A and B are shown apart, each in its own frame.
Chain A
Amino acid sequence: MSDMSNKSAAQQAARDVEELEQRSQTAARLFDVRRIIGGLFVVYGVIVTLAGVFASDEDLKKAQDININLWTGIGMLVLGLAFLLWLRLSPTIPPPDAEKGAGEGAEGDEGTAGTERGEGGSTK
């Protein structure tokens, strides 16, 4: 963060951000949120669908004779499975791990040499 020669503060700050982008670990190590959404909604979907399958007459009466647990549960299950399917069909693209020289400018190629891909499987 040196090189203060005749550059405006704005350009200096932009270069700092570029440098931080090069060192950033988010692209490489942050797990894919689709896994979390998919997992949570499958679990929720199963629980709520079961509540719908075993719905009492009182439950049905309260929800104006709609088996709302059943329908909501099925909806959540479908959404959860859809996210897992999407993740399967188009998996997280690992960032290119070649070390890029500073100041290349192009986005999306933050250099992340030699780091493993984060999968975040431990959160479910």
Chain B
Amino acid sequence: MLHLAEGLRLPTNGLDYTLLGIYFVVVLGIGFAARRSVKTSLDFFLSGRSLPAWITGLAFVAANLGATEILGMAANGAQYGVYTVHWYWVGAIPAMVFLGLVMMPFYYGSKVRSVPEFLLHRFGPSSHLLSSIIFAVSSVLIAGVNLYALALVLKALLGWELWVSIVIAGFFVLAYITLGGLSSAIYTEVLQFFVILAALIPLTVVGLKRVGGWGGISDTLSGEKGDAFMTAWDGTGIGSGNPLGANWLTIVLGLGFVMSFGYWTTNFAEVQRALSAKNLSAAKRTPLIAAFPKIFIPAVVVIPGLIALVMEPTLGKTKDGLQYNDAIPVLMRDLLPNGVLGIAVTGLLAAFMAGMAANISSFNTVFTNDIYAAYLKKDRPDEHYVQTARWVTVVGVLIGMGTAFIASSFSNIMNYLQTLFSFFNVPLFVVFIIGMFWKKTTPAAGFWGLLSGTVAAMVNYFWFYKQGVIDIPTDQGANFVSSIVAFVVGSVVMVAVTLFTKPKPAEELAGLVYGTSSPGAPELPEKGDDVWYRKPALLGWGAMILAALCYIPFSF
């Protein structure tokens, strides 16, 4: 069990609790107010496919801005230095743009309600059931991680026992998702996005002043950790050592291509936000709008990690002292006066709850839509599935509370999540990318590709890496390699199986494979969607160029 250091208790007062209390009331209010909009299962699972792009876009980025981002990436910043920006500029933006421009027409146009449902239509029941079960299991695991991170913060803040926090936070998420379904999840995510920025921006500003600006951080950490610590690419040549334990090839291929595309393009907790958009144009723009805030989030997450390291050089050094995950709470304790401190506490809690809510709302959709309605109880009236989804939410949150305790065995929460993603998402991405672009890919190939990729990643991680068969310096480096292994094994198996099995008839693949279109009339563009700032291609390429430009100051 990871314990926070003694004395991390925040000096909160009544003012801070008032701000926190207001937020909880508003969140419950959203749940109750959204309840009246839920009439069909489509309302509950996908907000009736009716939301505007700016809402789904902010929800898309906020669903990712949970425990993973804030504690995990600040921790990575303190541990690995400026290399952490790779998780954003190489490890997110290209994949988000690819999802919006290339994959979204198939997802949204085919009217599937979930990522596994796409597999059902493209391949068939065996890969569908496998990926649904894997997704359902991993969602509740990750929900547990979010809940655990939240409990750490509450323990630091209020001194509550972990289990008390887990039960209370779980209850709030349960309440608003059960009431309003995806609509309340998305609305709270949008709200959370602004609150967390209102917390992180002041934290960064005050922190920078404390350590003498960027120049101060740079001088101190270059002196202590070496110059490479403050650059994005120095020391990433193959064979040379760096804090990340990865070279440029594993960064670009493992993180930037395989892992990131696996996460952003096939993780239903993210894709679900885009599927709830009101039309195809809005669905395409969802990840593209999200890409712009994503580019700038390291400024308020990674920089605080570096500031924390300057202020507390012992961070992560000793078992009993401050850990990397404490970076943000330490800054909150030392720099923020009451008032903004309350906003910061609220923002963190909101982010953790939203992260968990994203997992729970995608879990209830996949379980109800893809397991229950597809295999257990078919052809019931729609109301029955709304009812079931509400119960599934309750059960999912309860299991999440249980898994919150599993998360405690890794010292860096991020590593735990990355490990899971490399096992589950990468093989799924392989199956998607090959299935979408190669018409001949057979149903059997989908299933065996998914299974073999997942197993290969696990074998690489738990056997080759953990048992020391191959030498990789860090967990992160091992994750990158596991992803590449999963990708290669999955694709080879898919191609091999395709050569010996029977493909689906071409007419069943309309709208599911590149070069085909969905049957029926093409969707008419909505009035106003043709203005220049709503053009998906411009948004997408703009984000790519901006991300590339961001590398320049850290590369030379």
Binding site for B on A (CB under 8 A): 1, 8-11, 13-14, 17-18, 20-21, 23-31, 33, 36-37, 39-41, 43-44, 47-48, 51-52, 55, 58-60, 62-66, 68-69, 71-73, 75-76, 79, 105-108, 110, 118, 120, 122-124
Contact = CB atoms under 8 A, between A and B. Distances in A.
Nearest to B51: A26
A71 B202 CA distance: 9
Interface stretch (B254-262, B352-360, B461-469, B514-522): B514-522
Contacts of B205: 66, 68
A89 B190 CA distance: 20
A30 B34 contact: yes
A88 to B, nearest CB: 17
B340 A25 contact: no
27 contacts: A8-B507, A9-B120, A9-B121, A14-B111, A17-B111, A20-B48, A24-B49, A26-B38, A26-B50, A27-B278, A37-B191, A41-B198, A44-B22, A47-B19, A47-B339, A51-B340, A60-B337, A63-B340, A68-B337, A79-B194, A107-B49, A107-B279, A107-B523, A108-B278, A110-B50, A123-B30, A123-B32
- Of all A-B residue pairs in the complex, the 3 with the closest CB atoms, nearest first, are A24-B48, A26-B48, A123-B29
Given A17-B111, A59-B338, A110-B50, A124 B29 contact: yes
Interface string B502-514: 0000011011100
Most buried by A among B202, B210, B508: B202
A24 B36 CA distance: 11
Contacts, number: 192
Interface in B14-28: 15, 18-19, 22-23, 26
Contact of A1 (B194, B337, B379): B379
Contact of B49 (A21, A29, A31, A63): A21
B55 interface: yes
Contacts of B379: 1
Contacts of A29: 36-37, 39
Nearest to A20: B42
Nearest to B211: A64
A49 to B, nearest CB: 9
A73 to B, nearest CB: 7
B42 A72 contact: no
Contacts of A26: 37-38, 43, 47-48, 50-51, 183
Contacts of A31: 33-34
Contact of A25 (B40, B210, B519, B520): B40
A107 B194 CA distance: 29
Contacts of A106: 521, 523-524
B339 A48 contact: yes
Nearest to B59: A33
Contact of B198 (A43, A72, A108, A110): A72
Main secondary structure of the interface of A (DSSP, over half): helix
Contacts of B510: 10-11
A56 to B, nearest CB: 8
Given A14-B518, A40-B26, A107-B279, A24 B198 contact: no
A66 B206 contact: yes
A55 B339 CA distance: 10
Contact of A47 (B18, B38, B201, B336): B18
A6 B183 CA distance: 35
A59 to B, nearest CB: 4
Given A23-B39, A33-B55, A59-B337, A64 B343 contact: no
Nearest to A39: B26
Given A62-B337, A124-B26, A44 B38 contact: no
A44 B343 contact: yes
Most buried by A among B113, B340, B519: B340
A43 B379 CA distance: 48
A72 B335 contact: no
A36 B42 contact: no
A15 B343 CA distance: 46
B112 A36 contact: no
A33 B42 CA distance: 19
Contacts of A68: 202, 205-206, 336-337, 340
B18 A72 contact: no
Nearest to B189: A33
Given A33-B55, A69-B340, A24 B40 contact: yes
B191 A122 contact: no
A115 B294 CA distance: 38
A72 B113 contact: no
Contact of A43 (B22, B37, B43): B22
A52 B29 CA distance: 28
Most buried by B among A10, A28, A48, A108: A10
Contacts of A36: 26, 29-30, 187, 191
A52 to B, nearest CB: 7
Contacts of B22: 40, 43-44
A11 to B, nearest CB: 6
B498 interface: no
Most buried by B among A39, A43, A62: A62
A103 to B, nearest CB: 8
B206 A63 contact: yes
Given A23-B42, A40-B23, A68-B340, 4 more contacts: A10-B511, A17-B49, A27-B278, A123-B26
A18 B111 CA distance: 8
Most buried by A among B23, B33, B47, B191: B33
B142 interface: no
B214 to A, nearest CB: 15
